[in-house]
Structure 1
Amino acid sequence: MFPCQRYLAQPVSRRELLSQSAHGFGAVALSSMLARNQTAHAATATSNGLAAQLTHYPAKARNVIFLYMDGGPSQVDTFDPKPMLDKYDGRSPHEVIGKVEPTQFANVGKILKSAWKFRQYGQSGIPISDLFPHIATCADDLAVVRSMVAPFSEHTFANYFLHTGHGQQGRPSHGAWISYGLGSECDDLPAFVILNGGLIPPGGMDCFGSGFLPAAYQGSVFTSGEAPVANIRPSEKTRGLQADKLALMKRLDEGRLQQLGRVDALESAIANYELAARMQTAVPELMDLHEESASTHEAYGLNDEFPNTRTYGRLCLVARRLVERGVRFIELTCPAGNGDRWDQHSSLIDGHTKNARSVDKPIAALIQDLKQRGLLDETLIVWCGEFGRTPFAQGSDGRDHNPYGFSIWLAGGGIQGGVIHGATDDFGYRAVENKVEIHDLHATMLHLLGVDHTRQTFRFGGRDMRLTDVHGHIVKEILS
C-alpha cells in the first residue's frame, strides 16, 4: 500500500503547512514540532507518518482517554433517572410503554425500577446515581449525553461500530484514525495504547486494529502488571551487545528497502522494531509507580480492599502518565474478575455495584489529577459503552441490551462541563430529543482534536474512506 494524501482538502506542501501558524497549537507548538523533526527518532517516525502532524484548525484537545465500559451500563441506573419506573414498577411494558422492540434474548419482563437513588451534584445540579459517589464530585466537569443511539444490539457488532464506525470486522479503530491524522508526540511509546484490565471486548483485537491504514497505527495492548508488554526486558547481557544487534538489523532493513522500495508492511515492521527497542527503556519507567505519592496511590484506589478497584486505579494512573508523555490515544478496558462487565442479564444489583466500585474512585481521581496538573483542558475523556440496557427486566433481576437510547459522558479538552444533552422518553427506553449517533461522537472527538472528520480520508477500495463514512455531525451543544 503506497502512502496516501492524509486529508481530502486541497493538498499543500509540508513547508506551506508549517507557515500557517493558525493551525495546530500556535507558533510555540510549531517550533517544538520543527525541533522534534531534527531528532533521529522523529526522523524515523516521519518516514512512517508518525511524526506530530498539523491540524485542520486550532485544537482544544491533544490527547484522548477513552474509558470503555464493556457490556453496556444501564442508563436508568447511572445518569438518566426515570421516576416513571418507580411508579410503574412491576407492570407490563406493553401496557405502559407500548410497542417494545425484540430484545437480544427475547425475554421481556416487567418494568424494573432502579435500585439506586439519584442525587443532584455540583453547581450544575446534574443527577447522578449512588453507584458513582466519587464521579459525582466531578459533576461540573461532565457533559452527560442522554440520547445516544447505536445500530446494533449484539456485543460484537456493536463493539466494531463503536470502535471503528462500521459494524464489520477489519476496519480501522478510532484510535488508529486519530493516530493517523495527528501522528505522535512521543518518540519512545506507541501513539495508540490499550490499557487492558484483563478483558478484551467481544470482537477481539479487531476493535483496536489499523484495518486498511498502515500497520504502524494499530493499537498496542499493555496489561496492568509491571511488565505489561512481552519481551520488554532485553535478553542480551549487555547494552552494547543489543546496540550492535540493532545496528546490524538497521543496515539489513535499509538494504532491503532499497531493493523493494516503499512497502508499508516492511516499513511498519521496521518502525515497530525500532520503537520496541526504545520501549524497553520507556515502559519499565512508565509502569513504575513508586515515585507517585502515597496520597496519589490512595486517591486512585491502589490501596482499596477490592482488587478490581486496584487494577482499574493502576490503569487510570498509568493513563495520566501516558498523557504526560505525549501518547495520543489511550483506551482502558474493564478489569477481569467478579462484576467484570456491565452485561447484567441477571443479578443487576450485584453486577452493577461491583462494576461501579471498580471504576468510580479511579476515574474521579483521574479527572481531579489531570485538572490539578493543568492537563484536563487538553485531554478529552470519554466514558462510553456500546449500548444501554432496557428499562424492563430480563427475568426478574436483569436488564437486556438496549441500543435505542443510552447515556455517555465526556469531560476535559473543549467540553463544556455541567451540561446535559438530549433526552430519552419517560421510561429511558428511546432517545426522543437531540439523538446522538456513534458517527456524531467520532466527529466530535476529531473536531476537538483539530481534525475535520469530512476531510480526514484514506484512499482504499476505489473510494476515500473516513472514520465517519458519509455521516457524522459535531455535537456543538456540549462544546465549551
Structure 2
Amino acid sequence: MIENLTNETLVSRRNILASASSTLGGAALASLMNPASAVAAPARAGLPHFAPRAKRVIYLFQSGGPPQHDMFDYKPHLETVHGEETPESVFGDQRLTGMSSGQASFPVAKSIFKFAQHGESGTWVSEVMPHTAKIVDDICVMKSVHTDAINHDPAITFLQTGFQIAGRPSIGAWMSYGLGSENENLPAFVAMMSGNGGQPLYDRLWGSGFLPSEHQGVRFRSGKDPVLYLNNPPGFSAKLRRATLDHLSRLNQLRADEVGDPEIAARVAQYEMAFRMQTSVPDLTDVSDEPNSTFELYGEDARKPGTYAHNALIARRLSERGVRFVQLFHRGWDTHGGLPKQLRARCKETDQATAALVTDLRNRGMLDDTLVVWGGEFGRTVYCQGDLKAANYGRDHHPRCFTMWMAGGGIKPGISYGSTDDYGYNVVDGPLSVHDLHATILNQLGVNHERLTFKFQGRHYRLTDVHGEVVKELLS
C-alpha cells in the first residue's frame, strides 16, 4: 500500500496535519495579536479536578541540605553516645557518598545547639531558629522525608522535577501549565535566588522541560532591572515597542499557518507578557510603599534587593497579585565543614524572614489559601566529618531521612509528622517520599497528580512519574 501512495497524496496529508496542528496555535496567536483582549492564562480543561484548599504556593528552597539534627529533629540519645562509632546496625546497607566512604571512622556528633519545646504543640526547635520557634503552631514539621539521590545536583533536580535526570518540567511549570495564571500582567511562576557559595543552581530548575516554554519560571534578579531585557533601550518608546510586537505577531501568524508549530504561540505569549510586565514589575518590586512595621517584621535586610528577606517580601507581594507559584532558592547550606559557624549564618539570613512571611500571610488572611513549603534536597548525617572536637566539623549528605515543613493551604498546623530512630538516621514511622510530597502539594491545589499529564515522545508524563500518594495525615 505504501508504494502506491503518490507524492501528491503525501503532500496533501502533510498539509492536513500541519493545518490541524496550526489551528490551536493560530487561535492563540489571533487572541495575542489584540492586546486589549489579553486575559490571565486559563487553567487546562477540567482543572482543578476538585475544590482546592490552596490557590498558590510559595516554596522556600534551602539549597545544600539543612542539618536536621541541629534544627528540628531533636535526639537526646546522642548526648550519651557522642563521639562513639555509629553502629553498623544503624548504617545497614545504605549508600555513602565518596566523601564518607574514605573515612576511617564515623563518630556520632550530637548537636551543640540547645533545643526547647515551643508553642501549644510543644514542637522541638533549635536555638538557631528563634523566629521559627514562634510560628510552630502554624506549621507542620515533617521529619520523615526521604529521597533517592545522594549528591546535590540529582537531589535538587529530583525535588524540583520529580526525576533525578535533567529535562523534566519543574514543579512550578507544571502548576502554570495545569492551573494557569490569575494575573494577566505577571507570570504564573517566578523564581528568585539569594545566598552565596555552595552548589550552583541552574535555570533548568525552574524550567519548563518539554512543556510549552511559556510555563518556565521567570527569574527576578536584584538590581535596577529585576527581569533582564524588560525595559526598552534608550530611544525606543513604548509606542514603538507595541508596534514592533504587532508586526512580529503578524509575521509569526504567517509562520504558524505554514508549519503549525505551537511553540510559536508560546513565544508570542512571552513577548506579550514582557510588554505588560513593563508596568506591573516596577510597581511590584518598589517596596517603598511598605510601612515600617513590615521591615520590623521581616528585618532591615528586606530593604536590600538580592537578600533572602527582600525576596520573601517580594514573594508575599507576588502572591497578593495572584502569581501561582513563587520559589525562593537560598544557597549555602552545604556543611561538610565549619557547620556551627555556617549554620548560624544561614539561620541569621533566613530565620526571621521565613517566620515573618508565614506571620504576614496569616495576618492578611492569605495563609488559608497559600501553601508555604520549606526544605532542602536532603539532610545531613548523624556522624561527623572532620575533627569532632574542633569548631570546623561538619556532616555529610543524608538522603535516608530529613526534615521539611509546610504551612497554610489546608495543611494541618502545629503537628510533627513521621519519626526517625534514636540516631536520626532511618525513618521508623510515616515515610514520606519526594513523590508523596509532590502529590500532596498538587492535591492541595485541587489537582489529582495522576491526571495532570503531558504527552511527550509517545508517553504521558506527570510530575510524580509512576509513584506518589497523597499523605492524608498532613491535611486539615
- C-alpha contact (below 8 Å) 2:382/2:395 kept by paired residues: yes
Give 3-state SS (helix, strand or coil) of 1:394's partner: coil
Counterpart of 1:181 in 2: which secondary structure?
helix
Partner of residue 212 from structure 2, selected from 199, 211, 214: 214
Moved more, 154-163 or 235-244: 235-244
Query: For residues 410 and 462 of structure 1, do their structure 2 counterparts lie closer, same or farther at Cα, with a shift above 3 Å needed?
Result: same
Q: In the alignment, which residue of structure 2 is the partner of 1:60?
A: 53
In 1, are the aligned partners of 2:121 and 2:415 still within 8 Å (CA)? yes
Aligned ranges 1:363-374 → 2 under 5 Å: 363-374=354-365
Tell me by how many angstroms 1:466 deviates: 0.7
Q: Secondary structure at the residue paired with 1:42?
A: coil
Report what 1:437 is aligned to: 433
Paired residue type of 1:479? L
**1:41 corresponds to:** 38
Give the superposition deviation at 1:265.
2.1
In the superposition, the TM-score normalised over structure 2's length comes to 0.86
Per the TM alignment, residue 304 of structure 1 is displaced from its structure 2 partner at its CA by: 8.0
CA distance in 1, matches of 2:217, 2:253: 25
Separation (CA, whole Å) in 1 of partners of 2:83 and 2:293:
46
Q: Which amino acid aligns with 1:376?
A: L
Shift of residue 99 of structure 1?
3.9
- Alpha-carbon distance in 2 for matches of 1:39, 1:455: 34
- Specify whether residues 52 and 395 from structure 1 end up closer, same or farther in structure 2 by C-alpha distance, changes over 3 A only: farther
Asked whether the 8 Å contact 2:56–2:319 carries over to 1, the reply is: yes
Q: Do 2:419 and 2:429's aligned partners in 1 also have CA atoms closer than 8 Å?
A: yes
Q: Matched residue of 2:359: which SS? A: helix
Q: Does 1:464 align with 2:473?
A: no
> Structure 2 counterpart of 1:290, which letter?
S
CA distance in 2, matches of 1:100, 1:304: 46
Supply the RMSD in Å over aligned alpha carbons: 2.3
1: CA distance between counterparts of 2:453 and 2:302? 45
Q: Greater shift after overlay, 436-445 or 468-477?
A: 468-477
The amino acid of 2:220's aligned partner reads: F
Deviation at 1:237, TM superposition (A): 4.4
- Closer, same or farther: CA 225–300 of 1 in aligned 2, 3 Å: farther
Could you tell me how far 1:95 is from its partner in structure 2?
A: 6.4
Which residue of the partner structure matches residue 254 of structure 2?
Answer: 255
Distance, in Å, in 2 between the alignment partners of 1:61 and 1:143 is 15
Equivalent-residue separation in structure 2 for 1:186 and 1:226 (angstroms): 23
Q: Does 1:94 align with 2:87?
A: yes
In 2, are the aligned partners of 1:52 and 1:182 still within 8 Å (CA)?
no
Q: Which whole-Å deviations, capped at 9, do the CAs of 1:423-454 have from their partners, x for residues lacking one?
A: 01001011111100000000000000000001
1:204 to 202, 220, 225: 202
The structure with the largest alpha-carbon Rg is: 2
User: What stretches of structure 2 of length at least 5 have no aligned partner?
Assistant: 1-17, 22-34, 388-392
Structure-to-structure mapping, 1:100-249, within 5 angstroms: 101-104=94-97, 105=99, 106=101, 107=103, 108-197=105-194, 202=200, 204-235=202-233, 236-249=235-248
Report the equivalent of 1:30: none
Query: Is the 8 Å Cα contact of residues 53 and 181 (structure 1) preserved in structure 2?
Result: no
Q: Deviations 1:83-111 (Å, cap 9, x if unpaired)?
A: 11111111111368464744321235311
Deviations 1:165-185 (A, max 9, x none): 111011111111111110111
Q: Answer whether contact 1:178 1:329 (CA < 8 A) is retained.
A: yes
Q: Matched residue pairs, number?
A: 434
Q: What is the CA–CA distance in structure 2 between the aligned matches of 1:265 and 1:434, rounded to whole Å?
A: 43
Q: Secondary structure of 2:253's match?
A: helix
- Aligned twin of 1:378: 369
Task: Give the Å deviation of 1:241.
Answer: 2.4
The answer (yes or no) to whether the contact 2:135–2:355 under 8 Å persists in 1 is yes
Letter in 1 for 2:360: D
Contact 1:150/1:404 (8 A) holds in 2: yes
Q: Would you say 1:273 and 2:271 are equivalent positions?
A: yes
Q: Structure 1 CA distance, aligned partners of 2:184 and 2:92? A: 55
1:39 CA displacement = 6.5
Amino acid in structure 2 at the alignment position of 1:385:
G
Q: How far 1:277 sits from its partner (Å)?
A: 0.9
Secondary structure of 2:362 counterpart: helix
- The residue aligned with 2:8 is none
Q: Deviations over 1:184-208 (max 9, x none)?
A: 1111111111012256954622221
Query: What is the CA-CA distance between 1:215 and the residue it aligns to?
Result: 1.1
Which of residues 337, 344, 359 is equivalent to 1:353?
344
* Partner Cα separation in structure 1 for residue 195 and residue 425 of structure 2: 31
Q: Deviations over 1:392-436 (max 9, x none)?
A: 101121000000111100001111100011001001011111100
Counterpart contact for 1:157–1:203, Cα < 8 Å: no
Structure 1 residues 95 and 177: CA distance shift in structure 2, 3 A: closer
Match of 2:324 in 1: 328
SS at match of 2:332: coil
Q: Is the 8 A contact 2:301 2:307 kept in 1?
A: no
Matched, 1:391 2:382: yes
Measure the CA separation in 1 of the matches of 2:65 and 2:374.
11
The equivalent of 2:408 in structure 1 is 412
CA contact (8 A) 2:192 2:329 kept: yes
1:62, 1:449 within 8 Å by CA — same for their partners in 2? yes
> Counterparts of 2:437 and 2:335 in 1: how far apart (Å)?
25
**What amino acid does structure 1 have at the position aligned with 2:418?**
G
SS of 1:415's equivalent in the other structure is coil
For structure 1, which segment, 402-411 or 244-253, has the greater mean C-alpha deviation from structure 2 after superposition? 244-253
Contact 2:301 2:310 in 1 (8 A): no
Deviation of 1:351 after TM superposition, in Å, equals: 0.7
Q: Which moved more, 1:231-240 or 1:63-72?
A: 231-240
Between stretches 210-219 and 197-206, larger displacement belongs to 197-206
Q: Deviations over 1:18-39 (max 9, x none)?
A: xxxxxxxxxxxxxxxxxxxx97
Deviation at 1:384, TM superposition (A): 1.2
Given that 2:170 and 2:208 are in contact with CA atoms closer than 8 Å, whether structure 1 keeps it comes out as: yes
Residue 386 of structure 1 aligns with an amino acid whose one-letter code is E
Distance 2:238 2:377 in 1: 45
